[in-house]
Amino acid sequence: MKTILETIDTRYGTDNYHSFSHGNTLPYTGAPFGMNYFVPQSSHTDGSWFFKPDLPIFQGIRLTHQPSPWIGDFSWLLLTPVTEKISKPDIYHRQSSYRPDKSIFQPHYLKVHSNRYQVSTELTPTTYGACFRLTSQRAQPISLILHSGAQAHFRMLDAYTLIGNLKEETNPAKQPLTMHVCLRFDQPIQASHALGEDLVLDFEQGKLQFALATSFISEEQAMTNLPQADFDAVKEQTKQAWESYLHRFDVVEQGKADRRIFDQTLYRLFLFPQTFYEITPEGKEIHWDFSHQTVQSGKFYTNIGFWDGFRTNFPLLALIAPDTYHDFLQGFLNFYKETGYLPKWLAPDERGMMPGTLIDGVIADAAAKDLIPDLEEELFQAMLDTAEKEDPSKRYGRHGASDYQALGYLPADYHESVSHTLDYSYSDFCIASLASKLQEKQVPQRYSQQALHYQNLFDSETGYMRAKDRQGQFRADFSPYSWGRDYAECSAIQNTLSVFHNIEGLKELMGGEAAFTDYLTRLCQDQPYFDVTGYGYEIHEISEMANAHFGQLAISNQPSFHIPYLFRYSGRPEYTSLLIKSLREEAFQAGWQAFQAGWQAFPGDEDNGSLSAWYIWSVLGLYPTCPGKPHYDLGIPLFDHLRLYLPQSQKWLDIYAHDNYPHFQFVTKTDLDGRSQQRISHVDLLTSDRLDFYLSWLPNLSSTHV
């Protein structure tokens, strides 16, 4: 019987195009939160889209750090095994066909067979490298071609060991970055030569094993990072590392539900952020400091965007992997100490992308759940400092912080001003919350007031959040269907609801509960109309909404993630379960049919675990509508019985769905240890034994408000 790890196929969500996304994922083989991932490359002419699951072309194994095609790769290396003399330097002349249906794509194990060379390539990863096993079916001597987009320099340390240095500049800061690579073979290198800018290594035998490791510190550290066990032992170690996370979810009785999608999303949850610190032979944690171009002590993580991650995957990790979550925040605190700002989008250094400084939500959520008592003071000062100063380069921190402070909103001459204002308002809530916990004197009141700044952009005439100029006048040319310009990857329809921290205040602005209910209902019932005024063209997020048949609920992208759960705060709370079950089945399950044929799975960009985590939350029947508030809103579970391990209390929680028939789409009652619930606190969840959802075909005649 296959284990959960062996049933996962990493190609889920990898069939994508620049103009339309089914996840925009790569089939990463690696250790959980590893420094490197490994992907078979099928194309060198499509930029960031270098893997196509249905293209039976194998150009080699790519060591990659690409978190998203929109970010691009850095410090990558392509390794291609061949058994022929290759005379032309372009990749096209060395590529081979392969059988996708006969290949193995697992988190801890990759196997691809080259038809042209009749070479089987196997790989199993570690946190800092991998073990390779190459086998020629014709017993022909194997050669290995090394190719990189960076300036690469290689030298032989001895007959068995190759050292490489891949030098490039980071984006957008243009800071020098060097990745050191060490390859240690089980047989001597017979010869080597250049092939254009590439290096070819020749070996005598038709079987070759080697270990590979990287370091951003030094050549010596790369050698230290080499796997210390043989192939099979490393495979077992990495298997155990994955299972230590995956087995925190135990599907006891799946009922009529299909669990395959759930398993795929679990794998995606434990990929990002990636480790960027290393451990010396003496056991000291060290990392590369981009700001000072030197080595510093302590943890560091990269390849994560907080605009994406604060909503779903970080709160989920807070629940099921709190120690790892604590480590992440230690690493992000080190980034603040080195730059003077908390990070926004790391890959590997600060990219300065997306609105807000939404790591504030990650910090506030950790503090509210008592996960970081030793870091609260330092992280609070980091939040406060980042909020109250501006970076002249506009790469770090809050864009337009002084204007926001002076006007109470970000004016329309700033790009995505409405999204920025709403995100700053939420961050102000996060700062106020942690300040109150730390018993600060003046900060809580000040930032609690600033947390209401979202009100300054609400237009009571149209019922939407609208951009204002510096004189306080709303932008004249307004359409609620217009994407971009004032709104980040959404329109006013979705963005108006981005007030996670004060839903009751938003309801009041809109005219009360009835008006709020009507707004949500119209959003779901509306046609997926849009105009492209802000972008000037149809971005892929628009296309995905227009083709999904979910009205204006663009579940493919983050601004809509929480909208189904807002019905819990409306006059029709039962609509939440109806929407969640529909979205699970149509946005993801419908994709499963395509997945079987074409690897199309997610309704949009998976975005470093955020959409996977949304699905997992919606399988559990819980949702963290406002990270920073230690409670969960209720949805509808997928499985008859799922056990969830909670490390913070070191116990299991049993989640049951009673009468869990496919056509039962409503929840009549939810009990936590026999006590009826409308919302569940984090503390109560940790201290309880079972959570029971009672499902029905029709909703209750009288809906209970939360």
- State how far the Cα of 216 lies from the Cα of 222, in Å rounded to an integer: 8
* pLDDT exceeds cutoff 60 at 656: yes
Average pLDDT on 342-347 reads: 98
* pLDDT exceeds cutoff 70 at 623: yes
Q: What pLDDT, on the 0 to 100 scale, is given for residue 593?
A: 56
* pLDDT exceeds cutoff 70 at 592: no
- State how far the Cα of 290 lies from the Cα of 236, in Å rounded to an integer: 35
3-state helix/strand/coil string of 34-82: CCCEEEEECCCCCCCCCCCCCCCEECEEEEECCCCCCCCCCCCEEEEEE
pLDDT tens digit string along 204-262? Answer: 999 999 999 999 999 999 999 999 999 999 999 999 999 999 999 999 999 999 898 99
- State how far the Cα of 601 lies from the Cα of 14, in Å rounded to an integer: 8
Q: Collapsing DSSP states into helix, strand and coil, what is residue 128?
A: coil
Q: pLDDT > 90: what percent of the chain?
A: 95
pLDDT tens digit string along 26-45? Answer: 999 999 999 999 999 999 99
pLDDT tens digit string along 251-304? Answer: 999 999 989 899 999 999 999 999 999 999 999 999 999 999 999 999 999 999
Contacts of residue 227, defined as CB under 8 A and 6 or more positions apart, other chains included, come to: 126, 129, 130, 131, 211, 213, 234
- State how far the Cα of 308 lies from the Cα of 310, in Å rounded to an integer: 6
Burial track 368-404 (b if 16+ CB lie within 10 A, e otherwise): bbebbeebbeebbebbbebbeeebeeebbbbbbbebb
Under a CB-based contact definition with an 8 Å cutoff, are residues 358 and 310 in contact?
Answer: yes
Strands (E), 291-390: 294-297, 301-302, 304-305, 345-346
pLDDT category at 349 given cuts 50, 70, 90 is very high
Average pLDDT on 100-109 reads: 97
Average pLDDT value for the chain: 96
- State how far the Cα of 210 lies from the Cα of 570, in Å rounded to an integer: 60
* pLDDT exceeds cutoff 70 at 609: yes
pLDDT tens digit string along 48-71? Answer: 999 999 999 999 999 999 999 999
Under a CB-based contact definition with an 8 Å cutoff, are residues 466 and 457 in contact?
Answer: yes
Average pLDDT on 181-197 reads: 97
pLDDT tens digit string along 512-561? Answer: 999 999 999 999 999 999 999 999 999 999 999 999 999 999 999 999 99
- State how far the Cα of 344 lies from the Cα of 307, in Å rounded to an integer: 7
Q: Collapsing DSSP states into helix, strand and coil, what is residue 240?
A: helix
- State how far the Cα of 205 lies from the Cα of 120, in Å rounded to an integer: 14
Q: What pLDDT, on the 0 to 100 scale, is given for residue 258?
A: 87
Under a CB-based contact definition with an 8 Å cutoff, are residues 112 and 119 in contact?
Answer: no
- State how far the Cα of 356 lies from the Cα of 335, in Å rounded to an integer: 17
φ/ψ of 623, rounded to 5, equals -160, 135
Structure tokens at 95: 């590529």
Which single residue is written with the structure tokens 């119209």?
Answer: 522
Q: What pLDDT, on the 0 to 100 scale, is given for residue 706?
A: 45
3-state helix/strand/coil string of 614-661: HHHHHHHCEECCCCCCCEEEECCCCCCEEEEEECCCCEEEEEEEECCC
pLDDT tens digit string along 374-429? Answer: 999 999 999 999 999 999 999 999 999 999 999 999 999 999 999 999 999 999 99
pLDDT tens digit string along 6-16? Answer: 899 999 999 99
Structure tokens at 57: 């072309």
Q: What pLDDT, on the 0 to 100 scale, is given for residue 594?
A: 46
The pTM score is 0.97
φ/ψ of 374, rounded to 5, equals -80, -15
* pLDDT exceeds cutoff 60 at 441: yes
